[in-house]
Amino acid sequence: MSILRNTLSRLLFIIFIFAILVGCQEVEVAHRTGGGVKAGDKVSPERMDDSFLLAYARRMGEAKEHAGRVTPEYVLEHVQNMESLIREAHDQGFTVLAEFRQAVHQFQAELLMRTMQPDLIAEIPRESITDEDVRTFYEENIGMYGLPDIYAATVFHTLDEGEAGLLGAADGRAALDAEADVLPGVEVLTLDPMPLERFPGVWAQTLLSLETGECGPVVMHEDRFAVLCLEEARTNRTQDFEHRKEYIRNDVLYSRYRQAWREAYEHLREKHGVEIDPEAAERFRERMEEEREG
């Protein structure tokens, strides 16, 4: 009973949000079962009792947009406005749209996940994760901590096609440097290590084809001819463990919570016999594949 009381207490201050989203569905059920109100009636649906309205008032009192205006009449008007909006959406058919039903379903699940987490998942203290745990996680998931490859280059470029031909004909780096010294239109750029995506596309392709110390053929980017020399390539880099250790500790914590939720969901699915109709699941797979191909 204590778990139930705690859950209800947490829900008291947030349930009105969910009520707004699913109110149209509840009204529909009331009509089918003879409960609630019909169009033109002035009696509030049974679900809009004084506790529901008080929960609304409490939440509105926390919002800046309602500051200083949360009187009983203000709350009553606001709730009726929201209910009328929900019913209008229902009349126009919004509530049967797949996108709307999905949004309500997801919102309800996420709201309840936050509310019920203390009852379903035991708290995992961050302090319980040792440095050895962090190191093991880092080594087992090293791909998560990779850094982009970076390249340093020297670029000899010119606007003159004739000068570009002389640069391209130079035999080796020393000859290339010598040509650059005497050709008036040649400029030399020294580029510090940076990821390939920061280079123009044709430059990046050239650098990928070179070994450190090699120079490539003449390439053109926009209105300039260029010869690129690869000075340094730093590949297979990873984040420094000691520098990132506390961030990695957070990753370990999140991974443990994800595992705890997986186990909780498995238990809940088995407990409630939750299954997707096989035919619906197969149609879903086919349609999702069609959307990917399209």
In the chain, domain spans: 2-120, 150-235
Classify 239 as helix, strand or coil.
Answer: coil
**DSSP element (H, E) containing 17:** helix 15-33
- The upper half-sphere exposure of residue 150, i.e. CA atoms within 13 Å in the direction of its Cβ, equals 9
What is the predicted pLDDT for the residue at 205?
96
What is the predicted pLDDT for the residue at 67?
87
Assigned token pair, 196? 């390939």
What is the predicted pLDDT for the residue at 47?
74
DSSP state of 144: G
Question: How far is residue 193 from each of residues 54, 157, 236, measured CA to CA in Å?
Answer: 62, 19, 14
Radius of gyration of the chain (CA): 33
Assigned token pair, 210? 């070179």
**Can you list the residues of the chain whose pLDDT is less than 50?**
1-5, 7-44
Number of Cβ within 10 Å of residue 120's Cβ equals 15
164 neighbors 263 (Cβ within 8 angstroms)? no
Please name the fold of domain 150-235.
Chitinase A; domain 3 (3.10.50)
What is the predicted pLDDT for the residue at 45?
54
Q: At what angle do helices 50-61 and 72-91 cross, to 10 degrees?
A: 100
231 neighbors 152 (Cβ within 8 angstroms)? yes
60 neighbors 71 (Cβ within 8 angstroms)? no
Q: What is the pTM of this model?
A: 0.66
What is the predicted pLDDT for the residue at 27?
34
Look at the chain and count its residues. Answer: 294
Question: How far is residue 123 from each of residues 14, 117, 243, 264, measured CA to CA in Å?
Answer: 22, 9, 27, 13
Residue 56 to residue 15: CA distance in whole angstroms: 9
Sign of CA dihedral 42, 46, 50, 52: negative
Sign of CA dihedral 253, 259, 265, 268: negative
